[in-house]
Amino acid sequence: MAQKTEHTSSHENGNGQSAAEAGRLQPAVAVRVGMDESSARLAEKLFRVGQRDYTRLDLTDLSQITRTPLNEIRSHFQSTDEWIDACYCHMVDQYRIMTDAIPDFEDYTVGEKLLNFFLTSMDMMRDQEPFVRSTYHPFILDRFTSTRFEHSVARLFRQFTESDNRIAFSHQLLLVSPVYTWWSREYLHMTGYWLTHPDSEPEVMALAEKTVSLLNEMLYNGVIDNTLDLGKYLVQNGFVSIWTPVSVFQKFLRF
């Protein structure tokens, strides 16, 4: 199994790479996880179909193309959309187990983990490029409703933040479901732009790096906590008073 390049700090290794870049894993180390084995096998079968106009294919067509019994397919997926969605979810499942190849992955910041996922998922998509270019926009990015893949990415991001006890407490309170949904959509849009403009990878990566750098500043900066602590101290020691409706009414009665 591939091993992560050692780095001298949580942000940079001896070669000047970021932790996320150093920890970039090859899809070859992927192991089935998450979905059951038969569903994972079907996902891999569909990957091998490659470039097609999937918008014109139903399960019966795909059954013939993949030489898979239709009843076997229907026992897992009820539509072409579901089967394709499951293929992308399988990438997230693969990534989760791939992180076991990074001994100090839990020491990464949330931003470094997000960037590592972005890099590795790009590599995964390159491995399945004909399939991805045929399906990503019509079945993932341009859908009117959210996909299982989008939710899988959001859950992965949530796992990154909830497992990190270095995040300022006040920021943890702000990390509600819509935040993860927003980050997930941003990931989908950046990936979609990269797929549409292959020559834009340097610019897309620069944007991703700046985005996760800002995220790290937001999550690990304790300014809000310190401000609240100062305010609490000032109130408790009588340096300032809190004007509540009750206190205002009491002051009014004194006149």
What are the extents of the domains in the chain?
19-221
- pLDDT at 134 > cutoff 70: yes
pLDDT reported for residue 240: 52
Judged by average pLDDT, the poorest of 53-57, 88-92, 137-141, 196-200 is 196-200
Question: Is-contact 160 114, C-beta < 8 A?
Answer: yes
In the predicted model, what is the mean pLDDT of residues 80-98? 95
30 or 141, higher pLDDT: 141
pLDDT reported for residue 248: 46
What percent of the chain clears pLDDT 90, i.e. is strictly above it? 49
pLDDT reported for residue 28: 38
CATH superfamily, domain at 19-221: Tetracycline Repressor, domain 2 (1.10.357.10)
CA–CA dist 248, 155 (Å, integer): 46
Question: Is-contact 123 24, C-beta < 8 A?
Answer: yes
Alpha-carbon Rg for the chain in angstroms? 24
> What Cα–Cα distance (Å) separates residue 70 from each residue in 38, 42, 56, 62?
14, 12, 17, 9
In the predicted model, what is the mean pLDDT of residues 145-161? 93
CA–CA dist 105, 221 (Å, integer): 21
In the predicted model, what is the mean pLDDT of residues 4-16? 42
Entry pTM:
0.75
Residue with tokens 């030489």: 67
Distance of CA 185 to the CA centre of its chain: 9
Region for residue 178 given its phi and psi (left: phi exceeds 0; alpha: psi -120 to 50; beta: otherwise): alpha
- pLDDT at 174 > cutoff 60: yes
Question: Is-contact 96 33, C-beta < 8 A?
Answer: yes
In the predicted model, what is the mean pLDDT of residues 15-33? 49
pLDDT tens, position by position, 28-47: 333 334 578 889 999 999 99
In the predicted model, what is the mean pLDDT of residues 102-121? 92
154 or 219, higher pLDDT: 154
